[in-house]
Structure 1
Amino acid sequence: MSLSPRDFAGCLLEVGAVRLQPMDPFTWASGLKSPIYCDNRQLMGFPEVRDQIVASLVVASRALKPTLIAGAATAGVPWAAMVADRLQLPLAYVRPTPKNHGMGRQVEGPMAKGHRAVLIEDLISTGMSSLKCADALRAEGAEVPAVLALFSYGLPQAEEAFAAARIEMAVLSSFEVLSAEAEARGILDIAGSDALRAWRSDTVAWSHAHGGA
């Protein structure tokens, strides 16, 4: 059974894959402060939830009519492997950059040339890493109609980048749905919801205002 966007948002909150701390923000690797932190790797530890997520990814992937499933290294690879297995399609995975030894490949697995590839990610933030992987598939001669992710922060720069690349950004659940579900569960109050919306509209300015890079 696949999950609705709201049910998936609830799963993210229940297992602690997404944490919301608008009054005590997280620090990302970039140095930016953020009121939200997403670690979808946590989902791998819950077999029932994992099975429902894979079912949702299968439904979304099938609608895109792929001939190849690709996983963005590293966190997208296990999801891609499970989807490819259920759809009985070839599987590849894409490194952020080419290897500096051996064959020097960036796309590992079967040659992508001539394939219609759906790239699976666990998370989309700015979209840059996802689109680099998509570019690597295109460079090998594949068509990439979409990047399919478990969750996206919904940042404006990601939407602009995907539009410029002419690649669909498909997600199992959205920032808006997650925020609404967190409010419904009493995890966020009005001030917290306002903080999340302010952060998403301008992540850099929000970070600066809260002592980040």
Structure 2
Amino acid sequence: MTNVKEIAKQLLQKKIVSFKESGHYEFASGIYSPIYTDLRQTISYPELRKAITVALAEQIKANYPNVTVIAGVATAGIPQAALVAEEMNLPMLYVRSKPKDHGKGKQIEGVLNEDDQVVLIDDLLSTGGSVIKAAQAVQEDGYKVAGIAAIFSYGFTDLKKNMDDAGFAYDTMLTYQDLLEAAHEGDWLSAEHLKAYKAFQSDPWGFDR
């Protein structure tokens, strides 16, 4: 079984995860955050990339044993999906954020069959908006979504509510708690700031530093 705590430490060592002790980052959702995870960078590190691929494949096999197709959510989920599909020897496709405005107007690129069960992969789950839209696009084309997988989630209550409302199962390789524990153990985050980062998770829309 892959050691996800070691993966978390590598994300911190390579500064793929960044902390701000004052000020904030802004997410696409409008949330202000003291932490930023740029997981697109992981594909530039072969050993880390492989560890993440194996961990995601293990997670998908355990939680969605009937999966027949791996789908990447454009754009950050596409390379992760390609790596996992190769690891699991499964077909792969990707889902655009919206249909093309030319050609056949496709939103889903790849081959799907009537009885396929699709697992969508994204790098990060925040409030779940983009991956839910991608999963709904698969459903609207008449195919089965077995579930959603990602490298990391902040664990916001909005995410759970949005996924529950949309009716999708989901899970992540790393949790916010995993990341904070690794940061604290490795002296990337003091005990004083640890409390503030936990508070951010419980009320992300009310966060203001």
- When the two structures are superposed, what TM-score results if normalisation uses the length of structure 1? 0.90
Which stretches in structure 2 are left out of the alignment for 5+ residues? none
**Residue 146 of structure 1 aligns to which amino acid in structure 2?**
G
Q: Which moved more, 1:116-125 or 1:14-23?
A: 14-23
Aligned equivalent of 2:131: 130
1:119-170 Cα offsets, whole Å, 9 max, x none, are: 0110111101111111011112222121110011111100111122222221
The residue aligned with 1:142 is 143
Residue 201 (structure 1) aligns with: 202
Q: Secondary structure at the match of 2:115?
A: coil
Alignment match, 1:99: 100
Q: Are 1:67 and 2:85 matched, yes or no?
A: no
Q: Distance in 1 between matches of 2:129 and 2:46?
A: 30
The one-letter code sitting in structure 2 at the alignment partner of 1:143 is K
Structure 2 CA distance for aligned equivalents of residues 31 and 141 of structure 1: 32
* 1:5-20 equivalent positions in 2, closer than 5 A: 5-20=4-19
- Show structure 1 runs of 4+ deviating over 4 A: none
Q: What is residue 26 of structure 2 aligned with on the other side?
A: 27
Structure 1: runs of 5+ lacking an equivalent: none
Q: What amino acid is the match of 2:49?
A: R
Amino acid at match of 2:39: N
Indicate how the Cα distance of structure 1 residues 122 and 82 shifts in structure 2: closer, same or farther if over 3 A, else same.
Answer: same
Q: 8 Å contact 1:148–1:169 — kept in the other structure?
A: yes
Q: Deviations for 1:51-83, whole angstroms, at most 9, x for unmatched residues?
A: 111111221222312111100011111111111
Q: Deviations over 1:22-64 (max 9, x none)?
A: 3232233455421000100111111111111111122122231
One-letter identity of the residue aligned with 1:167 = F
What amino acid maps onto 2:43 in structure 1? M
SS of residue matched to 1:141: coil
Structure 2 Cα separation of the partners of residues 62 and 185 of structure 1 = 31
Change (3 A) 1:112 1:75: farther
2:48 counterpart SS class? helix
Identity of aligned residues (%): 35
Partner of 2:190: 189
Question: Which residue pairs with 2:176 in the alignment?
Answer: 175
SS of residue paired to 1:42: helix
Aligned residues of 1:22 and 1:36 also touching (Cα < 8 A): no
Which letter does structure 2 place at the counterpart of 1:74? Answer: T
